[in-house]
Structure 1
């Protein structure tokens, strides 16, 4: 009889344990999804300041409970524990990057419907898992800190998150930093990026979430429970202080000397990708960009910017086009998105064509889209996944240390996907880039993607303290000032031209001069704190 009762109790305990874990798993997923809602199309940016806290609490509590129940060391935690941060990361990235599903159907590349769907699901699943993997690593390290002092968990948890974002962004697959959850709505906090880049904003979000989480955790061990304690007070004070600092930077006047003025026109060609590389698409491109150029010259522009791949031809064929003939006739500089040659391969490039119709400088896209423009481990995967490029040759990376000189001074160039990599813009600003030219083609995605893309460009303008002109194929084209304010933004899926005056600048923010100095500082303090915590 006693054995039967004991068996029922153990079964009930097991059922309860399973339900508890399922609840934690669901809570992790939901909080990750909430973080994903901070960006377009929802744009609930304020959720970023609380959406990481549930995961923080769960990681600390569950690692404690596992250790107490199994008497295990943190690095021997069961597999199920690591599902908690994984689900949070998958929830965040799958929602934030859902726009990737817009590549389906890829009939414009000759890919049949079902293989197109399979490739799309694979891409979405892979980037979601990839983002989840980085959060899982963070959770695994935080599990080792479960018995540490709260201040040490906040310090190391913040430093680790920044360090992992730096590591991920040094590769080819990167987009969804915590910092970009604040763009374009919270321009004040984004100005912290002028100090040490986007990781400054990431550190602010992670640390405040951590303090909120530690407030809850400390209240769990107090009697009576008091959620409003020193950690929540510190979180509130830090939130206000960081926004005041950002507001101070945001409030600085922007010099606009007449001699630094540059009137730039952009052309949004609106050529669907389905026809872009076909004769019909080429004819529309030549007509649209030539007419747009001529109309902008009548408005007195100094130069014209076109989108990524505006002319789906190689540079050697420029001379045969009416557009270059118009440049020779009107004498106004144009920046043309087209293809360059590099040995037997090709590059996705932006060219400066001067008033004589001569190409005087060229920038080759250095960060290519994995699967879309190149295949990682191609010798292994190349036979399994069809290359998605519109041309037959291999597309190759541009050099990492390029400069782009124009008749108006050195420019900072980013082509499409490169907008997500702040170091590209920082390095060009550090060597004399005076304004930003962003050229992109987001034609095959929903409107959420180009709006997120615009949000990335806003961050780059603020971090480098530069004016930015952005030309896209189908939207959103825009002009942005050094405070991240959008002066003009285009419509979506329409042909449009627009001219705006920007100003060349030679200022250098702390971030431009020193790069991301905050992350190694936080990591160093975390290491020191770890040894101090063990000693005392």
Structure 2
């Protein structure tokens, strides 16, 4: 499953990689007397934990790219230990979700029922499939509300399987996750049926056939959506210019890097303005100063007054006694029209959760003199070209962050990120996340990054342009304003709610029948 994620992006493996986990979760007969201890402390839980460690550990191995942090004054050995700690902490966080799934589905399955229907092998298999899909989707939904969130099963299909990703317009990433779990569950249950009861061969083949028909049907439906023409009016066109500054983190917040950033973004702004773009976009903290300093001490502000082209500028804002990671909307007249403060801050990077405990173990992984402050969740980012949907770096993983802004009238997406301190796997996965957000919201997207990948993505998830890594690049392209509202934008993740309700009803019937 880890290999199905970018940059390897062997997305087809995801449709099979859950089968061993599912098989070993249910192949062992439950003991006659079920206790919470017997459900938790057994081989099935260990297998689930191992599967979770393998998937999340491999998919998130790029986190170790924060080492070495000697440029921040962190000793080499301490830097290595910090990197390993962060990787293991986040990996275990994801693996616990898989273990919880294993425990809960086995708990549901272990409930005895004297009704003849619940003793039928095919009914048992179908019940486990419903519970398995519903519980996985529910756990991912809860997990996505936490500060640590990245490796949903759905992102294994991005960037290459755009057909199946079109279904996220209906109920967000959960529909793709549900499809993956269901197909794996159908195939795994067919093996379990044939192994436990040789008389169930026909039913076993029926489950495999159902899996094939199901996955083929979903891809056909998605492919039809993918082939629907995008109808965008010329009056809604915005010619954007993207500056990829390519300032390595090792020098980014030091005099040499600061000067290089000022010169690079000023030069890029001037070139793109002369090429006739409507709006220029810079990455997250492109100029790592506060707004007042940019106005009074940098060469880019006088250039804005001369060229008179609006710019979205990544910089630091201030909030009380802390900094904010912000995007500033600067008009053609050099006035500050709007500001968006990053809401989803990176744990252990931009702030330390449980500061009183973890703060004693690990120092912040940022050279700033203070922790960053999170922005308010109800922010609206207005531009001279309409309301924008904004995601700053880590926020690309959070579907609800984009859905909220789209529902409030956002017409196009702007994402800005840094990513300079990670391996090539991280920007590849980041780009994959943004593709899903563009599809879910049915919006055009412009991505501006420090070292790559910057890109322009259309509402079908097609990448119309993508930058190279670790290069200074300027690009001009077009995005379009849109006012559509997908079913997901209107109703949110309704599928998980429906699955949970159906699971509770099925469990209630089983429990009730088990009393007789």
TM-score computed with the length of structure 1 as normaliser: 0.91
Structure 2 CA distance for aligned equivalents of residues 417 and 121 of structure 1: 20
What do residues 178-224 of structure 1 show as CA deviations (whole Å, max 9, x unaligned)?
A: 00000001000001100010001001001111111111111112326
RMSD of aligned Cα (Å): 1.4
**SS of corresponding position for 1:108:** helix
Structure 2 CA distance for aligned equivalents of residues 294 and 207 of structure 1: 53
Structure 1 CA distance for aligned equivalents of residues 330 and 98 of structure 2: 45
Contact 1:75–1:144 (CA under 8 A) maintained in structure 2: no
Partner of 1:219: 194
The question of 1:198 aligning with 2:160 is answered: no
Contact 2:135–2:500 (CA under 8 A) maintained in structure 1: yes
Partner of 1:233: 209
Structure 2 CA distance for aligned equivalents of residues 56 and 381 of structure 1: 35
Distance 1:496 1:78, change over 3 A: closer
Counterpart among 490, 493, 504 of residue 527 in structure 1: 504
Structure 1 segment 249-288 matched on structure 2, within 5 A: 249-288=225-264
Structure 1 CA distance for aligned equivalents of residues 511 and 322 of structure 2: 56
Partner of 1:458: 435
| Number of residue pairs the alignment of both structures matches | 498
The question of 1:39 aligning with 2:1 is answered: no
Counterpart among 249, 261, 268 of residue 292 in structure 1: 268
**SS of corresponding position for 2:349:** coil
Structure 1 CA distance for aligned equivalents of residues 510 and 129 of structure 2: 13
**SS of corresponding position for 1:91:** helix
What do residues 272-326 of structure 1 show as CA deviations (whole Å, max 9, x unaligned)?
A: 0011011100110011001001111122100100000100101121212111111
Counterpart among 177, 180, 185 of residue 210 in structure 1: 185
The question of 1:80 aligning with 2:56 is answered: no
Partner of 2:404: 427
Structure 2 CA distance for aligned equivalents of residues 213 and 533 of structure 1: 22
The question of 1:314 aligning with 2:284 is answered: no
Structure 1 segment 104-115 matched on structure 2, within 5 A: 104-115=67-78
**SS of corresponding position for 1:501:** strand
Structure 2 CA distance for aligned equivalents of residues 72 and 333 of structure 1: 65
Contact 1:178–1:205 (CA under 8 A) maintained in structure 2: yes
What do residues 135-162 of structure 1 show as CA deviations (whole Å, max 9, x unaligned)?
A: 1000001112345611111111101000
Contact 2:68–2:76 (CA under 8 A) maintained in structure 1: yes
Q: How many angstroms does 1:534 deviate by?
A: 4.0
Partner of 1:94: 57
Structure 1 segment 63-462 matched on structure 2, within 5 A: 64=29, 67=31, 71-73=33-35, 76-77=38-39, 79-81=41-43, 82-147=45-110, 149-223=124-198, 226=201, 229-320=205-296, 321-462=298-439
Q: Note the residue ranges of structure 2 that are not aligned, 5 or more in a row.
A: 111-117, 119-123
Deviates more, 1:326-335 or 1:76-85: 76-85
Q: Note the residue ranges of structure 1 that are not aligned, 5 or more in a row.
A: 1-34
The question of 1:60 aligning with 2:15 is answered: no
Structure 1 CA distance for aligned equivalents of residues 148 and 488 of structure 2: 23
**SS of corresponding position for 1:497:** strand
